[in-house]
A and B are shown apart, each in its own frame.
Chain A
Amino acid sequence: MSSNLITTFKRPESMSDNTTHYCPGCTHGIIHRMVAESLDELGVSGRSVGVAPVGCSVLIYNYFNVDFIEAPHGRAPALATGFKRVRPDMIVFTYQGDGDLASIGMGEIVHAANRGEKFTTIFVNNAIYGMTGGQMAPTTMPNQKTTTSPGGRDTDKVGFPIRMSEMLSTLKTPSYIARVAVHTPLHAIAAKKAIKRAFQLQVENRCFSMVEVLSTCPTNWGITPEASTKWVESDMVPYYPLGLYSDPDREET
């Protein structure tokens, strides 16, 4: 009897009913959900403000029941700094891709982290510019083919992919920095845990927090969604090791 059925897997309250525009096999939707679940579980959705990036997730505000401000390309950490400083009682997060955060917005993220701004950054690294149609990003893998590196990324000419979590964890200012992935259920469970902890630390007014999430882009990688998840494991994870890079509770070594 249908009347006896109850829904146990619900859409998080922080998410709207809109269907996302993301391509099949893209993991933005999964990561959005983890952010929304974290806000729900911490009970802070009603006092949160998200900062949207420029890139595939520019329309993230359509999928959340949370106040949002849309930033210029790369500047989300500066907007988050401004907002959080004048409203320290609110929960502020940026959601940024790798072109946004690691290329045009490199200066903003480094200095926000170094000042110890008490907001949370969700950094989605899929090794390519998605929305503009698959150009090379600072995080594009060596020899990876993109529309602006058709012969594959030539590290002699453009250098190696930037490892943001490692770079930011060299800063002495206390922070929480973790790199996770979402290409398998096991990885997704760990990712959710890290994202929730990042927000938890903000709720406690502890430190800047960033979770780098390795993501997929089947459309611009030119492979199937299934092959994409395998490529994350075979090519990205070895170069971008998963784990905790900085934790305010960890003694400095």
Chain B
Amino acid sequence: MTKKLMKGNEAIGEAAIAAGAINYFAYPITPQSEVAEYLCWRLPEVSGVFVQGESEVAVGNMIFGAAASGKRVFTTSSSPGISLMQESISYMAGAHLPVVILNIMRGGPGLGGILPAQSDYFQATKGGGHGDYRLIVLAPASVQEAVDLTILAFDLADKYRNPVMIIGDGMIGQMMESVEFPEKYRDENNPDDFDWALTGADNRPARITKSLYLDPKKLEDNSIKLAEKYKKIVEAESRHELYHVSNDNQLLIISYGTMARICQTVIDELADEGISVGLMRPITLYPFPGAELYAEATKKNIKRVLTVEMSMGQMVEDVERYVVGKKPVDFFGRTGGIVPTPNEVKDKIRELLKPSPKAKKTKSSRKKQIKG
């Protein structure tokens, strides 16, 4: 397998082709426009479909229509554009359609900025649109992982007939790293293989792709069907990675995406000072690796759990939810496009691990901050 040096955004575009997803609809937005610029010439080479829509509202609905065909379809955007797609995402979830959506996150709220951020965690994992639905959410930490997770995303979307969102901060999209692609690219899906795809009611009853159920019992049934699907996803699809985790760890960091890589540097440098810190990096943000987090965080040697994000504190709420008060949960984050430096994170850890006679073991410093 040959290695290529590629920008994250372009590598993700190529990965989709490798997954047999050659139908792409998008609207330009920084910092991910390179995906469209790459695919607009690359897709015709593989007889794929490239459409630049008039807005993210339209693009979300184009992939909605295209996904009903049973073929693999996808779009890419960045935070404000993803907000505009929430209408179609809710509908596609309600209609059990497989699509893949990439969000190369930039700072918000509002128009925000164009620099890397992780402040769309809530939107991605808690449902940015209306109704009882969930997305499978994947968070790559390198360009190679972005490629691997893009291919996985299409498999998961098809397997569960559910939208999958890949969220990467702007850095994942913009940086260049060496990547490998599978030697054999996947063929396109054959719509005739699916009993739900709209292929024409030729000698079979008509199929309807819809999310409208005027009868409340039927609507509840659909929500129950969705909930059962999410339960299976939670049981089977949680993924995470551990770094430097040992019985010597005094503190456990929880961090994802680019931020987790910076935390690896933090851990290496603190090890030189004799401070032992481990990292748990969720790869799936939904399903969140909660049971695994509980197991790691509640180990005797762990004094505190620190969540590090490029946000004002979003994933930390899930961390608190799974640590259930067994250990103090702290937070460190920068946002608005500011990426925390290793030194900032190290300072925070040193401060947290400083013996303080006043500090009660069970209280989290985050709670104190809020109270104070």
Contacts and interface: CB of A to CB of B under 8 A. Distances in A.
A87 interface: yes
A99 B109 CA distance: 31
Contact of B212 (A58, A78, A111, A115): A58
B58 A67 contact: no
B343 interface: no
Nearest to B90: A72
B68 A69 contact: yes
A188 interface: no
A78 B65 contact: yes
Interface string B159-203: 000000000000000000000000000000001000000111111
A79 B54 CA distance: 13
Contact of B207 (A45, A67, A85, A115): A67
A83 B65 contact: yes
B57 interface: yes
Given A58-B212, A75-B58, A82 B63 contact: yes
Contact of B198 (A45, A49, A108): A49
B69 interface: yes
B335 interface: no
Contacts of B60: 78
Interface string A65-98: 1111111100100111111011100100000000
B201 A46 contact: yes
Interface size class of A (residues with CB under 8 A): 20 to 34
B54 to A, nearest CB: 4
A68 B206 contact: yes
A107 B25 CA distance: 16
B269 interface: no
Contacts of A78: 53, 57-62, 64-65
Nearest to A119: B65
Interface string B78-115: 00000000011001000100000000000000000000
13 contacts: A61-B210, A65-B201, A70-B95, A71-B61, A71-B64, A72-B88, A78-B64, A82-B61, A82-B65, A83-B66, A83-B198, A85-B49, A90-B200
Would you list the 7 A-B pairs with minimal beta carbon distance, nearest first?
A79-B65, A46-B202, A82-B65, A82-B66, A78-B61, A82-B62, A70-B210
